[in-house]
């Protein structure tokens, strides 16, 4: 459904994506995580056809997004971080109007567009159908964004921070809707800063740092990678201590304890560990880049690393 290899994107001298690889299978929900500036939105925009990459192989539904036709675009849905809406339109008429674009691409297997009343009900806007867009709250406008992204019954759905502004009930309803879409073989790629949301929604998580995918796996697999970060808390002689689980056997051998509690590593622990590890690596590479030319004459080579200098 989505095949990306060695994706590169530069804005002048700034290299945002530096050989990104990712593949998405039919019906899979994948979360793309990374700090601000990591290249998540740029990646999504390239997959949607809004940006032409500087290099690499990009295919979505078998076509190159930047040069795909309207029939391809009818099979793609997107919920952007922001877009210029039509404040004077009423909710139902706006969704119905946009839905008509997809009618020529309707098939027996995938009738288009989505029934408007059913869709508004699913995103929690049934009671706002006759309201003007300008009178919606921020969270309601975000639900409208979701409806607009789904009205064409997409086969691949791109979601960029989709639940920003949602209240807890709206977020839960949205999660249920994404699971329903996945069950009908819709492929979903979402970016989010909400790690709890990623854990609940995603079959697989990709972590994008420095323009590359540095980790990939199910939420459980990523948590297991951070298992050494699990903590154990106990009390002895009225004093509470928190330590790594690696010390648990030693603690128990030293005598009885009370109030023993183990906190397993979370997805947040795994993610923050990756971000910190990447930050340290960047610092080393930066120092190498600055000192390498100065050290080169002493080593008789231009290829000088910190490790080589240390030896």
* Helices within 136-246 (DSSP H only): 138-150, 168-183, 195-201, 219-225
How far apart (Å, rounded) are the C-alpha atoms in residues 212 and 252?
Answer: 43
User: N- to C-terminal Cα distance for the chain?
Assistant: 48
Exposure string for 37-55, b = 16+ CB within 10 A, e = fewer = ebbbbbbbbbbbbebebee
pLDDT at 117 over 90: yes
Confidence band for 257, pLDDT divided at 50, 70 and 90: low
Tokens of 63: 């076509």
- The pLDDT value given to residue 309: 43
Question: Best-predicted range by mean pLDDT among 99-103, 236-240, 302-306?
Answer: 99-103
State CA 124 to chain mean position distance: 24
Q: Where are the domains of the chain?
A: 2-217, 231-263, 267-310
Tell me what the mean pLDDT of segment 104-122 comes to: 92
**In this predicted model, what pLDDT tens digit does every residue of 138-189 receive, in sequence order?**
888 888 988 999 999 999 999 988 887 778 888 888 899 899 999 989 999 9
* Longest distance between any two alpha carbons in the chain, whole Å: 76
**pLDDT (tens digit, 9 = 90+) per residue, 278-310?**
766 654 444 444 445 554 555 455 554 444 444
With a CB cutoff of 8 Å and minimum separation 6, the contacts of 168 are none
Domain 2-217 has CATH 3.60.21.10: no
Place 4 in a pLDDT band, splitting at 50, 70 and 90: very high
Taking the C-alpha atoms of residue 9 and residue 20, their distance in angstroms, rounded to an integer, is: 9
CA 150 to chain CA centroid, nearest Å: 18
State mean pLDDT over 237-260: 60
Q: Is the pLDDT of residue 43 over 50?
A: yes
Instruction: Render pLDDT for 17-41 as a digit per residue (tens, 0 to 9).
Output: 999 999 999 999 999 999 888 899 8
pLDDT at 258: 61
What's the pLDDT tens digit per position in 180-197? 999 989 999 999 888 888
Q: What are phi and psi of 192, to 5 degrees?
A: -160, 150
Give pTM, 2 decimals: 0.77
Q: What pLDDT shows up at residue 80? A: 82
- Residue 106: phi and psi, rounded to 5, are -70, 140
pLDDT score recorded for residue 62: 94
- Average the pLDDT over each of 4-8, 70-74, 220-224 and give the range with the smallest value: 220-224
Would you give the DSSP letter of residue 264? P
Rg for the chain, CA atoms, rounded = 24
User: 299 has which bridge partners?
Assistant: none
Label the pairing between strands 231-236 and 239-244.
Answer: antiparallel
Residue 232 confidence (pLDDT): 62
Mean pLDDT, rounded, for 100-108: 93
**Mean of per-residue pLDDT scores for the chain:** 82
pLDDT > 90: percent of the chain: 46
């Amino acid at each position: 459904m989505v095949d990306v290899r060695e994706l590169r994107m530069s804005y002048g001298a700034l290299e945002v994506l530096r050989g990104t690889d990712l593949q998405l299978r039919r019906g899979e929900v994948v979360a793309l995580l990374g700090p601000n500036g990591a290249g998540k939105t740029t990646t999504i925009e390239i997959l949607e056809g809004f940006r032409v990459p500087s290099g690499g192989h990009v295919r979505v539904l078998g076509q190159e997004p930047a040069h795909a036709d309207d029939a391809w675009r009818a099979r793609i849905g997107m919920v952007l971080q922001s877009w210029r809406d039509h404040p004077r339109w009423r909710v139902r008429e706006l969704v119905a109007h946009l839905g008509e674009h997809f009618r020529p691409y309707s098939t027996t297997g995938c009738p288009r567009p989505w029934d408007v009343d059913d869709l508004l009900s699913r995103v929690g806007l049934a009671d706002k159908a006759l309201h003007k867009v300008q009178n919606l709250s921020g969270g309601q406008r975000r639900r409208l964004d979701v409806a607009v992204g789904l009205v064409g019954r997409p086969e691949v759905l791109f979601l960029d921070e989709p639940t920003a502004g949602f209240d807890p009930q709206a977020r839960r309803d949205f999660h249920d809707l994404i699971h329903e879409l996945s069950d009908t073989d819709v492929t979903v790629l979402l970016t989010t800063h909400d790690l709890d949301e990623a854990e609940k929604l995603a079959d697989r998580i990709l972590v994008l740092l420095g323009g590359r995918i540095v980790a990939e796996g199910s939420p459980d697999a990523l948590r297991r990678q951070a298992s050494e970060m699990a903590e154990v808390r106990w009390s002895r002689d009225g004093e509470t201590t928190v330590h790594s689980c690696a010390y648990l056997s030693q603690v128990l051998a030293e005598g009885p304890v009370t109030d023993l509690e183990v906190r397993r590593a979370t997805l947040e622990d795994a993610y923050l560990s990756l971000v910190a590890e990447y930050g340290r690596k960047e610092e080393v590479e930066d120092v190498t880049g600055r000192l390498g030319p100065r050290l080169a004459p002493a080593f008789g080579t231009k290829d000088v690393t910190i490790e080589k200098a240390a030896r």
